Amino acid sequence: MTEPLPESNRAVFSELMREHQRELILFTQTFVGNREAAKDVLQEAFVTAWRNFEKFDQTRDFSAWMRGIIRHRALDWFRASKRGRAKLEDLREVEEMTQDWFISESPYLDRLEFCLQRLPVPFHRAIQECYFRGLNSREAASELQVSDASLRKRLERARRKLYQCLMGENKEASA
C-alpha cells in the first residue's frame, strides 16, 4: 500500500491539480478521443502523480510533468489488454479529492469538438487516425492511402486550423 502523503504535500498536490485541472482534462480528452475514456485515463494519471508526488521537483513545470504521466497512462489505455489497474485504496483517496473536478459540460471541450467538426475531411481523418486511433504516422498514411510526407502536411495544416478556430479566427478555420 502506498504511504499517504504528509498533509503539507497533500495541500500542494491538491492546489496544483485544481490549478491545472481544465488544461489536463482538455489535454487528456484530445489525446484519448472520448470523454469517458479520458476520465479513466486522467484518474489513473492522478493516482500515478499522487504516488510519485514526493519525487516531483517543485521547481519544474507541474503541467508538463502531468502531461507526461497522462501520455503514459493513455498509451497504456490504448494497449488495453496490458493495462494495469491502480490500487483500490489509492483510487478512493484520489477520487475523494477530485470528485468535483470533472466538468460534465466543458466549454473548452465543446469548442474543441466544434472545431474538429469544421475541419476539411482530409484533415479531420488525419487527426482521427493519428490522435484518436493512436496509429503511428506510417500506419495512418497507409490507412489514408497517402505518403508519409502528405500525412505530415495534413496534420500540420489541421493543427493550424484547429488553433485558428480555437482562438476565434473562424473564417480561416472553416476555409
In a domain, residue 1? The reply is: no
Q: What percent of the chain has pLDDT over 70?
A: 72
Domain range for residue 34?
Answer: 7-98
Distance CA 97, CA 7 (A): 13
Mean pLDDT (the chain) is: 76
In this structure, the answer to whether residues 117 and 92 fall within a common structural domain is: no
Distance CA 108, CA 111 (A): 5
| DSSP state letters, 73-100 | HHHHHHTGGG-----HHHHHHHHHHHTT
Q: Which of 74, 98, 122 is the last residue of a domain?
A: 98
Say whether pLDDT at 109 is over 80. no
In this structure, the answer to whether residues 64 and 147 fall within a common structural domain is: no
In this structure, the answer to whether residues 84 and 115 fall within a common structural domain is: no
pLDDT of the residue at 98: 52
Tell me the pTM. 0.47
In this structure, the answer to whether residues 86 and 129 fall within a common structural domain is: no
pLDDT of the residue at 120: 93
Question: How many structural domains compose the chain?
Answer: 2
In a domain, residue 2? The reply is: no
